[in-house]
Chains A and B, each alone.
Chain A
Amino acid sequence: MKTFSIGGVHPHDSKISANAAIESFPIPEVAYISMGQHLGAPAEPIVAPGDKVKVGQLIANANGFISAPVHSSVSGTVKGIEIIKDLAGNPCKAVVIEVEGDEWVETIDRSEEIAREIKLDSKEIIEKIKECGVVGLGGATFPTNVKLSPPPGKKAEFLIINGAECEPYLTSDYRVLLEMPEQVLIGAAIMMKALNVTQGFVGIEENKPEAIRIMTEKAKAYPQIKIVSLKKKYPQGGEKQLIDAVVGRKVPSMGLPIDTGAVVQNVGTALAVYEAVQKNKPLFEGIMTITGECCPQQKNYKHRVGTPLSKMIESVGGVPEAAAKAISGGPMMGKAIANLDAPTLKGSSSVLFLTEEQTKRQPESNCIRCGKCIEACPMGLEPYLLNKLAKAGRMDDLEAGKIYDCIECGCCLYTCPAYIPLLDNIRLAKANVMKIMRSRPKK
């Protein structure tokens, strides 16, 4: 069974929402469509208060190379362009739309039929993906079209679809693989055509046997795409780890996946690409898991981007009594939600409720130098040392310790028996070190 070579941890699976089929979440009365839904520069709104918009209509343009346009997820009247608070409580610009009916842009193909034939050529596909505002849905929300256009001198050799979903609790990718396997495969085939590669892989962890079975079955029609079953280990879904696990190549330090000839895309992204290219449907919907042991209902929702999180939480009976923390994303890398009124984004994958017992941090004690953080680090770093250096502010030594290679997976803090907030300090120091590195004149 394949897996990545260094480190990793084995958190409990907890995929308790795995059997909940995807349901459409009702359209909200007011949608708050954030302009910062992707990595890079926020989009620039092109609508004005009072404008009538339809579902799928472009409401904001990409603002720079690494940016993505934003489309309306609802139909109605633009109430205004307001500063709202995102889930961390920080202000961000959003287009607020009062919903009236559900009128879609005519060009979107809303039929259920699966469109198998790929009519567009490589350039047109990338252009289409860009127009439709597709971004990576694995967490980083990096604009997909940029990822599908390797920089000059670099050549893609294969595409890897990330179906690992190694984070505990999350099941949105799993449900997509079960319910829309062929769409994902077509999406993969489209991206392979765009990249001009002939080899594709779908990496799925072994704890999802049903998904592996269905995908293997459907992939028979796509001989270029291989389904790879992976050993369950976190952080298998990390780009670098996944490439290592699936094809055994290692992304060099400071390098990009393309340096190994690999392009990695998430299952959700493949579906979005399929919808954009074959159905002409911009990215304005997403699949979200609402879960947690303390949560009375487990749900997988298809939501319109811009739906307030609080609406979705209400549908399962509000914040559960026992919940101490609400997390957007998985328990290992997700963000704690400080503002439950924040709207959903393209990249929202879940709302997870954890009880105090599950999530409350224990008081920190002395480092006993057990080396468990070193054993767990998937990048082969020394978190205990980086933490010490970070506290002492020794930037040169941090750089020598390759702190910039940290993928912030959280394995070190997860495993630390002394409950030292290793990643908290390392993450901050990494940002500072990278700032220093970027400010240096390029040789």
Chain B
Amino acid sequence: MKKLLVSPSPHIHGKDNTKSLMRDVVIALLPTVAVSIYCFGLSALKLALVGVLACVAVEYVIAKFMLKTKVTICDYSAVITGLLLALNVPINTPWWVVVIGSIVAIGVAKMTFGGLGQNLFNPALVGRVFLLISFPVIMTDWSTPESTFGFAFDGVSGATPLGIVKEGLAQGMTLSQIYAEHNFSYAQMLFTRIGSAGEISAIALLLGFVYLLVRRVIRPHITLSIWGTVFVFSGILWLCNPEQFTDPIFNLLTGGMLLGSIFMATDYVTSPMEPKGMVIFGIGIGIITILIREFGAYPEGISFAILIMNATVPLINMFCKPKRFGKEAK
């Protein structure tokens, strides 16, 4: 007779697993990748491929030959890290710089902690910040590649809106002067502007956000609280001095704000697990981002903000407990 299985309950399992969740994140990133290819041509595709392949290869080598554990490259987590890293660097970044970023991202930020689920900091961001500090020139060269097909950019080149604003303010210009000189408009910010591949289209990123929410891959708390904090905090500053501080909409749509708040801050492993904690985490990121943008030396601060808040996640998880059932009675 056939031997039956015996196990404790439950005997069925939901359809989600690590692989399917990670795959959904990759799918949510595809519109952004598509737009970047449309705008920047094959060099965007090349960057994405280099990032993904390098991350997967690094993870495979480390897991197989150094840690000698089960190889987990099939769970798409390294693919996400590679994609995010590629979307985070300027389009003209040489391929070997991306490979170095991948080695740092996977090798240092992920595998040294014990692989998937164990890392404290978001690997892609660690890779990006490492590159930003190590190769400042390459990492801030926003000129468009020559092989661009599709359409050309109008007006600005060589610097992102955030960079232009920072530089202009440093030269003693007022914001209205800067805006007038560079012909900024919100419509332009929603789609196609200068920046890394992952920053150019707000619409594609929002599409990914909606997909993640519909598939219940992430909960909206972190992203929305970042947006809310950025809006309120920069709004207060803007009301205090509209010539010195950029307005809230500008802050929400420029730089890596959307990419960071939708895809990086919501990374399962490095974000809090409970709604209250998620909100605190998001508020922290929002405040630090605006502080860096408005008062710091760098034009963009969300990468640093997320990394700083990553460090607080264990603490947040310890203090933010879910609402227990039936706590209030007696």
Tell me the A residues contacting B by CB distance below 8 Å.
Answer: 5-6, 9, 11, 168, 240, 244, 250-253, 255, 259-260, 319, 323-327, 329, 331-338, 340, 354, 356, 358-362, 365-372, 374-375, 377-382, 384, 402, 405, 408, 410, 413-415, 417-419, 421, 423-424, 427
Contact = CB atoms under 8 A, between A and B. Distances in A.
B5 A324 contact: yes
B110 to A, nearest CB: 11
B10 A332 contact: yes
B324 interface: yes
B14 A405 contact: no
A99 to B, nearest CB: 26
B80 to A, nearest CB: 11
17 contacts: A6-B323, A252-B330, A255-B326, A319-B4, A325-B5, A325-B6, A331-B11, A336-B7, A354-B12, A359-B5, A360-B5, A361-B13, A370-B268, A380-B322, A382-B321, A414-B14, A418-B17
Contacts of A366: 72, 114-118
B9 A335 contact: yes
Interface residues of B, number: 43
The 10 closest A-B pairs by CB, nearest first: A410-B10, A371-B273, A252-B329, A366-B117, A250-B326, A380-B324, A370-B268, A336-B6, A325-B5, A331-B12
Contact of B116 (A168, A252, A368): A368
B4 A337 contact: yes
Contacts of A367: 117
B10 A250 contact: no
Contact of A336 (B11, B118, B322, B330): B11
Contacts of A323: 4
| A253, A259, A360, A381, most chain B CB atoms within 10 A | A253
Q: Main SS of chain A's interface residues?
A: loop
A402 B324 contact: yes
A319 B4 CA distance: 10
Contacts of A410: 9-10
B75 interface: yes
| B2, B10, B18, most chain A CB atoms within 10 A | B10
A167 to B, nearest CB: 10
B291 to A, nearest CB: 27
A427 B9 CA distance: 10
| B4, B16, B328, most chain A CB atoms within 10 A | B4
B155 interface: no
Contact of A427 (B1, B8, B11, B323): B8
Contacts of A381: 322, 324
B280 to A, nearest CB: 14
Contacts of B65: none
B21 A405 contact: no
Contact of B9 (A11, A244, A371, A408): A408
B151 interface: no
B10 A413 contact: yes
B117 A326 contact: no
A399 to B, nearest CB: 13
Contacts of A335: 9
A370 B12 CA distance: 20
B14 A9 contact: yes
Contact of B273 (A11, A326, A359, A384): A384
B12 A11 contact: yes
Given A366-B117, A368-B117, 4 more contacts: A319-B2, A358-B12, A361-B13, A365-B116
A423 B13 CA distance: 12
B11 A325 contact: yes
A384 B326 CA distance: 20
A398 B7 CA distance: 24
Contacts of A415: 14, 16
A439 to B, nearest CB: 24
A374 B12 CA distance: 18
A387 B77 CA distance: 23
B13 A356 contact: no
A169 B327 CA distance: 33
A331 B11 CA distance: 5
A335 B326 CA distance: 28
B219 A333 contact: no
Contacts of A362: 13, 17
Contacts of A168: 12
A253 B326 CA distance: 6
Contacts of A337: 4, 6
B14 A11 contact: yes
B40 to A, nearest CB: 32
B11 A327 contact: yes
A419 B13 contact: yes
Contacts of A423: 8-10
A304 B118 CA distance: 54
B6 A377 contact: no
Given A324-B4, A332-B11, A417 B16 contact: yes
| B2, B7, B17, B269, most chain A CB atoms within 10 A | B7
A370 B14 CA distance: 15
Given A252-B329, A365-B72, A371-B268, A380 B9 contact: no
A332 B11 CA distance: 6
A382 to B, nearest CB: 6
B319 interface: no
Contacts of B324: 253, 379-381, 402, 405
Nearest to B321: A382
Contact of B322 (A252, A326, A370, A377): A377
Given A250-B326, A380-B324, A369 B117 contact: yes
Contacts of B10: 331-333, 410, 413-414, 423
